[in-house]
Structure 1
Amino acid sequence: MTANTSDDVLFQPIRLGNITLANRMAMAPLTRNRAAAGNVPGPLAVEYYTQRASVGLVIAEATQVSAQAQGYDATPGLHTPEQIAGWKKVTDAVHAKGGKIFVQLWHTGRVSHSRFQPGQQAPVAPSALKATAARTYVIGQGFVETSEPRALATEEIAGVVNDFRTAAANAIKAGFDGIELHAAHGYLIDAFLRSGSNQRTDQYGGSIENRARFLLEITAAVIGEIGAERVGLRLSPVSPVNDSVEPDPQPLFEHVVRELEKLHPVYIHVVEGHTGGPRDNRPFDYEALRKLYSGVWMVNNGYTKEMAVEAIKSGRADMVSFGRKIIVNPDLVRRFRENAPLNAPDKAAPLYGGEGAFGYTHYPSLDEVNA
């Protein structure tokens, strides 16, 4: 059974910088809390990503740029030789399957706990404001409250920018085709953008231009290191997760995208609505953002196949990323193409953490289902 002609847009190739993607589908970055000792991706991570290599672009899970950047248990990094070597096994395997893979770089900022910080120190943030509506994940305990953060000193910010630059260089050493900056969901970059978490009085706080400065400096640094054709960004304009508060997001994100257009990263990846929740939680004109940017526009949040086809056919998006659907359907591209049934989530399977293959690599492909 082949795809209907009207569905073909989803399966057409697309150029992304210097590479060609096989289709318009992406695997969204998905935190799974499965990293091994030293926050190194293990052998199961190789299998997990290889199983999903048929999407046009795999965006590997959020990966910390430094030890200070960690906010959850068992999340991988890209700041030690062992982590680079672990990721190289993943990228080699994905490429051997014909896939393309970026990695999402993050600094969790105040969405962290002192147990993860070097010397058990306080997490860092734009301002010393606790993320009261956020939780962090500790294996064996589940989700726990975040710690009280301290405000980054102005003179420390250049060092954090350099951590992103170094991690981007490490990503290329590890064989990734590029990187995505995690500028969403209340983590450090997003926290600088929003007035609810940024009450600074220096050049990184106050006006929209000042609050956007940190993001733009990081973007310029990583583009200077690895090239604009290898850099994407993820934004979540109206998602309230992790205590993200911004009374007037439209002018803020229009400014951000207008300035990003000058740097021209290869794609912008927009979470529409409340991450993992309603897409219409508050009014926002995404089309206004789209008109300000000339690169590849990727959308996310609760998309079905039909919604994805409509978004691409209408020109609202160039690509669509999928999260939980691709966790439980490693061959989601084939299932969409053949209009095959999707696997149901296993209610007993862990979404975060877990041991062995269960909940991670155990979801069957169509061939396994039909065997």
Structure 2
Amino acid sequence: MTVIDISYWQNFIDQSTFAAWKAAGVERVVFKAGGADGGLYKDSRHDTNVARARAAGLGVDHYFFNGPVDPVAAADAFIDYAAPQAGDGLWFDIENEGALAHWTPDQVLAAVQQVKARTGAIAGVYMSSSVTAQADWSAVVAFGCPLWVAQYGPNDGNAHGAPSIAHWTSWTYWQYTSQGRMPGFGGSLDVSTTSGGVIPVVTAAATVGHNASSWSTQQIQAALIHLGYDLGPSGADGDYGPATTAAVHKFEVDHGLGVDIGIAGGQVVGKLAQLTAAPAAPAAAGLTLDGVLGPRTITRWQQVMGTPADGTISTPSALIRAVQRVVGVTDDGLLGPITRKAVQAHLGVAQDGIWGRNTITALQVRLNQNRF
């Protein structure tokens, strides 16, 4: 099985390119979700590229680059950023970055233990063959962490020999070159092969973010927006990502709730309920299922997406930009044919690029359920 890994540096990749990779024998792609080598950050290309790879039928893994951050906090950020679905693989990238040393075995163990607590999965570790021999990784091996090892040899695009893996008895992925080539992509790519070993996949979609309350994430987001907290252009999209975590954290600080790094628990929800007279999530508007994208339907759509609600779609549009982020296309705010078809695919209707009665009715049904 051939595996490709990509990050911000490969930019956005079209779904057609992912499909060409699949046709060429690639079965999984590992996407950088973020890292801790410059403070906690999310890879800005991750979500769009993951959605496109899934649509092309490829398996998905996620990786997170280590750094000088508490490994438990880093593990939480990893799960929040990756939002893994059932069948996705999870990896920590253990390597130096300039003067920053890679994590120690104890730090790796703390991170993988937190991932297991959050997802039930035992994350794997990526490291060069030299790093496998630089420390005593036996506790990490004993915990059950699979190995993704990098060893290039002449780095000519081909695999040579077998990798050295020190404390491990087997490897799952072997990254054997950074000079791989794939159809539809103009540059070099990291390419790995597999041994048939266990891929560290989650068995069910992870509970993303730090929502430890009885409210839905969208309810929490809507209440925060109502109280003037900035959740970015995506608004109340139901994704407990970095913007929501930061807003909850600020809310905790503002109201003296005992700073819990953005976890929405009982104290947070209790205070939100106290401060918001109306229900946090917009009430269902009871749209007539007439298949017409008129001002009432547009306003309801804007409310659900957490964008300014004026009943019109401007050019560019904050509403369309938020929608594009959900359906995994370029978020330029323009309602073009690619966006129209992506929305139709999201709604489960025919993808002809024409928003007729069937498309709008399907949209209205969802909006009446307070979701997109």
* TM-score calculated relative to the size of structure 1: 0.38
Which of structures 1 and 2 has the larger relative contact order (alpha carbons within 8 angstroms, sep 6+)?
Answer: 1
* TM-score calculated relative to the size of structure 2: 0.38
